[in-house]
Amino acid sequence: MVHIDDPATQRANLGFIRAAMRAPLLSRSHEFALARRWREAGDATALHELTRAYTRLVIAIARRYRSYGLPMGDLVQEGNVGLMLAARRFEPDRAVRFSTYAAWWIRSAMQDYVLRNWSIVRTGSTTAQKSLFFNLRRLRARIEEQSGVPLDDAGRRRIAATLGVALGEVEQMDLRLAGADQSLNAPRGEGDEDWQDVIADGRPSPEQTAISVHDGRRRSRWLAEALEELSPRERRIIDARRLREERATLEELAGALGVSKERVRQLEQRALLKLRRSLCRRAARPADLLLEAADGATA
């Protein structure tokens, strides 16, 4: 997936970068003073001065992710979000420079953006998968440089061990990074046929759908006729215990019918046996009583 900025956007990005690079650097003491003013007093002016000074850090980190084919301006915007999050969470009393603390938040924001937009297919969700996505190319290049041959199974095992992921995940990610997304509307060759024209339709055919509807109605009729053969008390038990979404308990039916729970269980089993015999008399073969899944298997 390749993203290309138009000329106007490129000029705007260049102007923003130049302005950011002209922002003065902050001394350690001034940086901490600004952070305290923002954290303790909510001074927006101090926040703006702090973040403007480190926009150059956002730009520097964004350049590292340009190889993924995403617009520089979008990477910078996502990095600015990370910079603002860092400013909100930064604790100056820990005596750590803001640039050191903010770099992690900036990288995290950009990496999330890359993972969301590099491909229309979700690339990685776990921490290990993200690490694999952003480090596979570097590790692959290093191993191929050392061995002098393309990456083989031994090299993939080294990468899996280094990053703490399964070998299968390395193989899958390697394939994902090797090829870009392909549109289903793209032609297969010189003809007019697209890739989507040869995708198999897994849905039931019109004939299968018509047969399924017909068989379902026949089973419903058989069941209604079989229920008519039960006594009123048996029908009540079957309805409450088998035909409702929220089934009644044996204890609830025992209280309503004035019998013991064991008696309700016996009546239920007797009614089920009657239903089974009645339905078997109506069906030409036992398979006619089974629901067929869409793939042709019985359920």
Classify residue 192: in a domain, yes or no.
Answer: no
State the pTM of this model: 0.51
Boundary of a domain, candidates 102, 118, 134:
118
Q: Dmax of the chain from CA atoms?
A: 92
Asked if 211 and 285 sit in the same domain, the reply is: yes
Among residues 69, 90, 118, the one where a domain terminates is 118
Q: Classify residue 194: in a domain, yes or no.
A: no
Residue 66: inside a domain, yes or no?
A: yes
- Interacting residues of 138 by C-beta distance below 8 A, sequence separation 6+: none
Is 245 contained in some domain?
yes
Check residue 180 and give its pLDDT.
Answer: 58
Which CATH number fits the domain that encloses residue 253? 1.10.10.10
Do 113 and 129 share a domain, yes or no? no
Residue where a domain stops, chosen among 81, 97, 118: 118
**Residue 200 placed within a domain:** no
The whole domain housing 53 covers 1-118
Residues 47 and 132 in one domain: no
Residues of the chain under the 70 pLDDT cut: 1-5, 119-126, 178-185, 189-191, 195, 286, 290-299
Total number of domains constituting the chain? 3
72 CB-near residues (< 8 Å, 6+ apart)? 5, 13, 62, 63, 66
Residues 152 and 250 in one domain: no
Amino acid 233: pLDDT = 92
Q: What are phi and psi of 131, to 5 degrees?
A: -60, -40
pLDDT at 259: 92
Q: 116-164: per-residue pLDDT in tens? A: 887 655 555 667 777 787 778 788 888 888 888 788 888 888 888 888 8
Evaluate whether residue 294 is within a structural domain.
no
State whether 6 and 109 are in the same domain: yes
Residue appearing with tokens 């009540």: 236
CATH (domain of 61): 1.20.120.1810
Task: Please tell me the predicted confidence (pLDDT) of residue 296.
Answer: 44
Residues 262 and 171 in one domain: no
Give CA–CA dist 73/54, Å, rounded.
Answer: 16
Same domain, 139 and 69: no
User: Do 90 and 38 share a structural domain?
Assistant: yes
Give the 3-state secondary structure of residue 179.
coil
Q: Are residues 86 and 23 in the same domain?
A: yes
| Residues 86 and 171 occupy one common structural domain | no
The residues near 15 (Cβ < 8 Å, ≥ 6 apart) are none
Q: What pLDDT, on a 0 to 100 scale, did the predictor assign at position 2?
A: 45
Q: Does residue 45 belong to any structural domain of this protein?
A: yes
Taking the alpha carbons at both ends of the chain, their separation in whole angstroms is: 42
- The verdict on residue 137 lying in a domain is yes
